[in-house]
Structure 1
Amino acid sequence: MAMESKPSIGRLWCLLFFFFFFFFFSFFRCSSSLPSAHPLRSVVDQINERGPFVGLVMAYSAEADAVESSGWFVPANAQPYVDLYGRRFHIGTIRGVHVVYVMSGQRRLNAGITVQILLDVFSVRGIVHFGTAGSANDSISFGDVSVPKFAAFTGSWTWKKFNSLKGSSNQEISFSEYNVPAEGKNLLSTVEFKPEELYSVGQPMKEVFWLPVNSRWFQIAEKLEVELERCANKTYCLPNTPKVVFGLKASTADVFLDNAAYRKFLFKKFGVSTVDEESAAVIMTAISPAVPVIVFRGVSDLAGGEAHWSSTSLSDLASLNALKVAVKFIEVLGRKEHLLLGKD
């Protein structure tokens, strides 16, 4: 009898160990980083019990309106939203997948702050970013949706002195090459594009120029089949049905680009196909703690490459098409648990 009691006690201790491990793991996973005295701490903790969530991030009101009017997002009954740090985080589901969506506001600082709040406060397994963009590539046009594999900040420069010698970097733009007339003098000289300092968990700081989306999530997205919308409204339709393109490069800067010469330069020098003001910030914030992230951008303009001004706004169409692809991607994520983790 004495010999039989030992393994029974061992099994009991083993069960107790796993019970306490599961309890503490669940507690820390569902608890937010809000201070214990924060008035919304208990609300957020209750929300996180329904998670983990996919974070859906957009920058413009037109993009948020597309989510609200689509009917694809179903708000939670108990707590449909929570207001934190001036932003409203909407709680609900898309195609059965638990989602928190939020409008970040424009440009990289707003985007980075919003994604950081999502990661710190909510139980988030990954970030899906969608929105509109300008096209810098003549092969993609109005209504098309780009799913980039890389994005870079192209608004961080070292501005060189006039008549300074050209450096070793090929990531430069000389303004004198764009003089009109050609023989005119341009005192703006040259700028050299700078890499970003990426701080990652468990890794030393490194300087990077291209920021990658999650490779596993990108592979999943490549298999998506989505029928995009062709008509901006009842009276204006595009001549061809828009398409989804994969594996291109995106450029992000705190600049709304509406200049044909600079558009051409970005495509020629860096091979970027879309330009926006948030994507690289979203990617960089997510990959720092190794959280899966992916980007979907609908083309709303040609970044100054239009032959003439169009009287028809295509922003709504671009937003809707980008959202359609994002929703389809989220639906696929919901089918298998391991896909939500961004792992092979």
Structure 2
Amino acid sequence: MSMIPTSFFVMGIASFFFKVIHILLLTNLSMAVPASVNRAAALEINKAGPYIGLIMADQTEEQTLLAAGVFLPCAINPWLDFSGRRFNIGSINGQKIIYVRCGQRRLNAGVTTQMLIDLFDIAGVVHYGTAGNANNSLSIGDVSVPKYIAYTGSWKWTKFGTKMVGDQLGYLHFGNYDVPVGNKTNLLSNIVFQPEEFFSENSEMQEIFWLEATRKWFYTASKLEGLKLEGCVNSTFCLPEPPKVVVGLNASSADIFVDNAAFRGFLFNHFQVASVDEESAAIAMICQSSNLPVIVFRGLSDLAGGDKENVSSMFSSLAAKNALTAAIAFLSLLQHATEGGGVPNALQLVDT
């Protein structure tokens, strides 16, 4: 009886394991986790709810939260991935939190907020991030807590020669911005700002332009005026004036990064907005459609289009840090307002 070489067995076993690993890799690459599995996991997570939703838009704002060391991940279910978003489950100073980075601009913000609300037991949403400054009385590093937010990216672009008459929400006539100044005739004509169609559970569709922050939460946020904020980018570079929390101004939100002084001036003069961003209106509208309280904290990183240099990248971390500081302070006030700690009950969250 002839002996089979040992190398034959080695090669055979190696080939077998290679085929198994290859099949497993192909299976993992071709099959995503079913949505039903993630929804089942969300139901399990919701047993520990309700939670406050915390939403930020970009990586700098998320890294600011992680660097602060205040978010404590849940030991059992620290996160849930769904449709490319990671929903992080945990707490901040005892307050149950689910935070998610939504991505920039309106569509990402709206879709992510709706997923957060649909998947989880959410009692309300806190949104923080950076913004451009549209109000010369404010400074870099200040945090604006708007009472009203308008989506200023919905326009009707008129035909050349259209004469603007009657009561409008607001319109921009391009001829007013010709250089050198001419007869104010411009082929781009006008853009007329349009209201949004607002749908909610308890009323018919309405056309609205301004979204109001939840009144009870806004009143709570008003107690943050005087909160100490970070005034230094590093050990050698500090702001000339201590930054502050300003409550009750207007905000403009659109799928537009405003880096133009003339347009910034137009928004301030026509709508009296103090800050410009790309996500707040979408997040506020989704929450209000579901009758959930919402509040926004935006740290000012630049004078939108008014700076000689591009300073938004220089001050974005500082602005994000200050916005987060205000948001965490608000969560603490919310925590103290509850009966016996935990997330506020339904009666405490009703807008009055």
Please give the TM-score of this superposition, normalised by the length of structure 1.
Answer: 0.87
1:31-50: CA deviation from partner (whole Å, max 9, x where unpaired): xxxxx971123321221111
Q: Which residue of 1 aligns with 2:156?
A: 158
Amino acid at match of 1:247: G
Q: Which residue of 1 aligns with 2:248?
A: 247
1:218-259: CA deviation from partner (whole Å, max 9, x where unpaired): 000001252100011223211111000010000011010000
Please tell me whether residue 86 in structure 1 is matched to residue 90 in structure 2: no
The Cα of 1:179 is off from its aligned counterpart by 0.3
- Decide whether the 8 Å contact of 1:111 with 1:278 is kept in 2: yes
1:156-176: CA deviation from partner (whole Å, max 9, x where unpaired): 100001111213233111000
Q: Label 1:183 to 1:239 Cα distance change in 2 as closer, same or farther (>3 A).
A: same
3-state SS, counterpart of residue 269 of structure 1: helix
d(CA) in 2 for partners of 1:311, 1:146: 16
1:156-209: CA deviation from partner (whole Å, max 9, x where unpaired): 100001111213233111000000010164211111000000001110111000
The Cα of 1:314 is off from its aligned counterpart by 0.2
* Pairing of 1:78-157 with structure 2 (within 5 A): 78-157=76-155
3-state SS, counterpart of residue 39 of structure 1: helix
3-state SS, counterpart of residue 334 of structure 1: helix
Q: Which residue of 1 aligns with 2:262?
A: 261
Q: Label 1:292 to 1:310 Cα distance change in 2 as closer, same or farther (>3 A).
A: closer
The Cα of 1:311 is off from its aligned counterpart by 9.2
d(CA) in 2 for partners of 1:337, 1:203: 29
**How many residues are treated as equivalent by the alignment?**
310
Amino acid at match of 2:73: P
Amino acid at match of 1:158: K
d(CA) in 1 for partners of 2:108, 2:234: 31
Please tell me whether residue 67 in structure 1 is matched to residue 68 in structure 2: no
d(CA) in 2 for partners of 1:204, 1:306: 44
Q: Which residue of 1 aligns with 2:17?
A: none
d(CA) in 2 for partners of 1:271, 1:312: 25
Q: Which residue of 2 aligns with 1:331?
A: 332
- Decide whether the 8 Å contact of 1:169 with 1:192 is kept in 2: no
Q: Label 1:37 to 1:99 Cα distance change in 2 as closer, same or farther (>3 A).
A: closer
* Pairing of 1:1-344 with structure 2 (within 5 A): 38-170=36-168, 171-183=170-182, 185-224=185-224, 225-310=226-311, 313-337=314-338, 339=344, 341-343=348-350
Q: Label 1:206 to 1:248 Cα distance change in 2 as closer, same or farther (>3 A).
A: same
Deviates more, 1:230-239 or 1:156-165: 230-239
Identity %: 48
3-state SS, counterpart of residue 223 of structure 1: helix
Q: Label 1:124 to 1:311 Cα distance change in 2 as closer, same or farther (>3 A).
A: closer
Amino acid at match of 1:127: V
3-state SS, counterpart of residue 349 of structure 2: coil
d(CA) in 2 for partners of 1:110, 1:312: 22
d(CA) in 2 for partners of 1:98, 1:217: 17
d(CA) in 2 for partners of 1:60, 1:37: 25
Q: Label 1:311 to 1:299 Cα distance change in 2 as closer, same or farther (>3 A).
A: closer
d(CA) in 2 for partners of 1:221, 1:179: 42
3-state SS, counterpart of residue 314 of structure 2: coil
d(CA) in 1 for partners of 2:63, 2:90: 16
d(CA) in 1 for partners of 2:76, 2:234: 36
Q: Structure 2: where are the runs of 5+ without partners?
A: 1-33
The Cα of 1:130 is off from its aligned counterpart by 0.3
3-state SS, counterpart of residue 199 of structure 1: strand
3-state SS, counterpart of residue 180 of structure 1: coil
- Decide whether the 8 Å contact of 2:146 with 2:296 is kept in 1: yes
Deviates more, 1:333-342 or 1:106-115: 333-342
3-state SS, counterpart of residue 335 of structure 1: helix
Q: Structure 1: where are the runs of 5+ without partners?
A: 1-35
d(CA) in 2 for partners of 1:311, 1:106: 15
Q: Label 1:310 to 1:120 Cα distance change in 2 as closer, same or farther (>3 A).
A: closer
d(CA) in 2 for partners of 1:284, 1:95: 28
CA RMSD in angstroms comes to 1.7
